[in-house]
Structure 1
């Protein structure tokens, strides 16, 4: 019911901006404000609806009580505004807005302090949980990644620590964090942290760890960790979407030349029960842009 009422506010605001009787809309103000008072909260869903209403009302000369402006004086709204890409409530055209948004997000990422990152993740989580529009969700994912791409090793470490402790519900690409960390931190320390994650995204982080791992950091112990991850990823995975490029096995071939045959045999054993995750691994294997027929013959020659 709450979401339905917020949708009514948004639809009503959009109609104000169309060809409607503005005198009637002006008389509606006191009744709309009663509804706003009943719905008022610090959640993004309410703040977004209120913002759209006030923008379109002001644009058409309809005045609402000034008190509503103070509702936006919260940190979470500033962050949402940074991530949002709705240029229609600004005076910029689309391309100008996108350029400005990108610059603001990058500047934010450069200036955020490591000590602020746990609070940033908490606010991002709260925003993401409270939005239902798929485009809105994309804006948060895309904007958050732009922020994270500006992080140095110290910020990436704080980010990973906070993800382990609090969880991050926004499905970002972990590679952008892990790649930078591997250049500055001990790989085993990073791996141990990721393994402590309790979120559904844990296996995606582990996959990206092995994908980003340099050949110089591959050894027998790391090979055993890889094998343990693959067994778990194949047998336990319950998600509905993921990306797995099996080519990351290349860096382990000097330890086990037959690694492709070994892993593919394990995949084939469970293909009926775990068809989705198995197909994710096999998809790239039979992508001729990644693996030519000659390359496949070379990889599996020990079993031919």
Structure 2
């Protein structure tokens, strides 16, 4: 069995001359994940379910566990000497921490938290960048707006029947499972690859009539293909981003969270959800898009920027682009 700690030591040379900085940052991230996993298991017994009575910068009701997770990660990363600052989906502005740190962290502390009270898996999403501003000075917003290709690490934690941590540093995707008795993350998913063929498609088509015509035609195309197929794809949509992405990453599937005609910018956050998930999918052999271009190539202009999100095997995303850009008519089954 290989622990996360052992794995990081063995792979340190992948990350800036084996300084140990990345290992320390990921250890803090994994400690936060262990604590959140504990609180989630006891949430219904400890009065941690429900809303806090506040609204965050996104205009969403803050869940008690949102606040707990956000506060926990802020405390952990504020004490890390390698972190110059962090940006959280729950915070309106960036949070400078150690001016001598060389890295900045972006995170969605607890994605899907509105589903906790019905037992749906939730997750933490994170990414890491080398700062642009001089070491020894406070970090600035431009340190967080470098674009998806500048990420040096990204990943997610899934809190479900087990607690899983998946991450990449640009050398493939590796997954770890928390062994609660030992309190260690153990390597259980080395070198993850997304299947080239989709078993599932994952999207909420309740707003199909509000999607752009090309996307409506693409969905009709999927249904027509399914009617003609011997083994049709199945619809699997939890409504918790990390859970849906995790399933499709391992099993093979297409995930879509588009914008609408009235709100083409979409709902998901580019920096906290889009970039890190897109890099994981690409590193696992899949493809990520905003419907027009590779998501990692979309410029970042503000820390709470939103984006449509399409993830899946390369051939599926290529087919999607054909419908969105060329207005291909539907083939009837």
Please state which band the TM-score falls in when normalised by the shorter chain.
under 0.3
Identify the structure with the greater strand proportion.
Answer: 2
Structure 1 or 2, whichever has the larger Rg, is 1
Identify the structure with the greater helix proportion.
Answer: 1
**TM-score, normalisation: structure 2:** 0.23
